A and B are shown apart, each in its own frame.
Chain A
């Protein structure tokens, strides 16, 4: 392996840990990022010449803290973080002498990124950048935000954390639950917007599913006793297990009910089940465990050959009590529509507030599906039309157009009779 490969590998494996270590001491994510970028640059210049050091991580850390200390000195201000920085420098020296590895402080970083002082919409991008080193442009594309705006918001969020003097510490026990919810929400937002199963949009197309699962595994490793962390991981793994079945050989969208379960990944599903079982032991039910349990019922079709829609509906009843998001409400209507008939599903859709669903694509897709089942052709075409117009996924759009044409042609066939 040449020096460039080692730098790349170090970037992948150590970036978040190095940044966590540095920013926990400097309390300044932006400065730590700059220093780390310089250190990686120095490694690219130095290692091919003088050889890869025995402990690349310690080398990078030493180089980065030197940059941090230099930068702080240059600012020539009575910087409160100076003592902590110098301490970090000493710690880094010790690490170089004794390359036993770096304490994993990414948990502090995760909690800081999802701190209440940070605007909820920027928590996920901040996490992706700080823990995984993703650049603003890539994050911007995944979230359909202007790259310049994304870079500005990230900079502002880091400045806000620094100015507010947010400590890089995990929360105290009494506020762990709400703070952990914020961390898990942010990780889930990286995975997709939660309506995967109703609408079937492929989170992988959004480009960050792998990163989200990585963060999910990380939080389970760091907080193994938290059932909701395991619930979230189980949920994402169940969805990942179906990735190959979501599109056919021509790239066309395949809805969950029509997926070939032979294409589902048995190993990912098993891992998801293990996480869910482990999560259930403390007896603290939560939103993510319920969502994972819903996916678990769907996964059972690979064994039983059918979907227990009553079971899905029951779990959704629990979910909407715990977290009545628009996604959960539409999901419940879908499950009831399958379990107790399309009219029952439609009745639930009518109850939803008009403004909340006006531009919510999965609502219209489900409405079209249920109208088609009861044979209301004009209403089906209307609802599917709205779903097509609101769709940002070409494969799903093509699927909905084809369904609409099927329904309309069945009408003309009926007329001929």
Chain B
């Protein structure tokens, strides 16, 4: 079953990316974490995200889309990256989440993914319409 590990950070932690020393320290822990997941053969996809202020959000409105700068949620913790992993169950997904090298200011949310799209079914639907 597939699970999303969603990594959240506070603005202070995002700001640490600019600090070469702290950035290096994070990578010394994060790169092995990423490698351990790949070695375990569980990684489906993943990406690190740029800072929240680089986001642009769209909402459908009456006269077309309303486009705004920045992310949707105006919360303290913002999404900083994610992995989609394929493991037997939530217990196993949480074990991998616990290995994320998080210090205060980080958080991980683990959410089960919907079953992967059935491509055959999608193609049939397209053919029928």
Q: Which residues of A contact B (CB under 8 A)?
A: 144-146, 149, 358-359, 385-392, 394, 397, 401, 404-405
Contacts and interface: CB of A to CB of B under 8 A. Distances in A.
A386 B101 CA distance: 13
B23 to A, nearest CB: 14
A50 to B, nearest CB: 46
5 contacts: A149-B91, A389-B33, A391-B99, A394-B103, A401-B29
A358 B40 contact: yes
Given A386-B32, A389-B33, A397-B29, A144 B98 contact: yes
Interface centre among A387, A397, A404 (most CB of B within 10 A): A397
A224 to B, nearest CB: 37
B39 A388 contact: no
Given A394-B103, A397-B101, A389 B37 contact: yes
* Nearest 5 Cβ contacts at the A-B interface: A389-B36, A389-B32, A388-B32, A392-B98, A385-B32
Given A388-B33, A389-B37, A401 B28 contact: yes
B40 A359 contact: yes
A215 to B, nearest CB: 23
Interface of B: 25, 28-29, 31-37, 39-40, 90-91, 94-95, 98-99, 101, 103
B35 A385 contact: yes
Contacts of B29: 388, 397, 401
A384 B91 CA distance: 25
Contacts of A401: 25, 28-29
A358 B35 CA distance: 12
Nearest to A146: B90
Contacts of A149: 90-91
Contacts of A359: 36, 40
B28 A389 contact: no
A272 B29 CA distance: 37
A389 B34 contact: yes
Contacts of B103: 394
Interface centre among B28, B31, B37, B40 (most CB of A within 10 A): B28
A380 to B, nearest CB: 13
Contacts of A388: 28-29, 32-33, 36
A392 to B, nearest CB: 4
A401 B28 CA distance: 7
A144 B89 CA distance: 13
Contacts of B34: 389
A394 B40 contact: no
A392 B99 contact: yes
Contacts of B32: 385-389
Interface centre among B34, B37, B99 (most CB of A within 10 A): B99
Interface centre among A145, A149, A358, A391 (most CB of B within 10 A): A391
A359 B41 CA distance: 11
B38 to A, nearest CB: 9
A358 B41 CA distance: 10
Given A388-B29, A389-B37, 7 more contacts: A359-B36, A386-B35, A386-B36, A386-B39, A388-B32, A397-B101, A401-B25
A179 to B, nearest CB: 26
A359 B99 CA distance: 11
Contacts of A397: 29, 101
Interface centre among B29, B40, B98 (most CB of A within 10 A): B29
Contact of B95 (A144, A387, A394, A404): A144
Nearest to B28: A401
A400 B33 CA distance: 13
A133 B98 CA distance: 26
Contact of A146 (B33, B94, B99, B101): B94
Nearest to A400: B32
Contacts of B36: 359, 385-386, 388-390
Contacts of B101: 394, 397
Nearest to A148: B90
Contacts of B28: 388, 401, 404-405
A271 B98 CA distance: 35
Contacts of A390: 36, 99
A389 B98 contact: no
A391 B100 CA distance: 8
Contacts of B94: 144-146
Contacts of A394: 101, 103
Contacts of A145: 91, 94
Contacts of B37: 389
Nearest to B36: A389
A405 B34 CA distance: 19
Contacts of B98: 144, 392
B31 to A, nearest CB: 8
A390 B34 CA distance: 10
Nearest to A140: B94
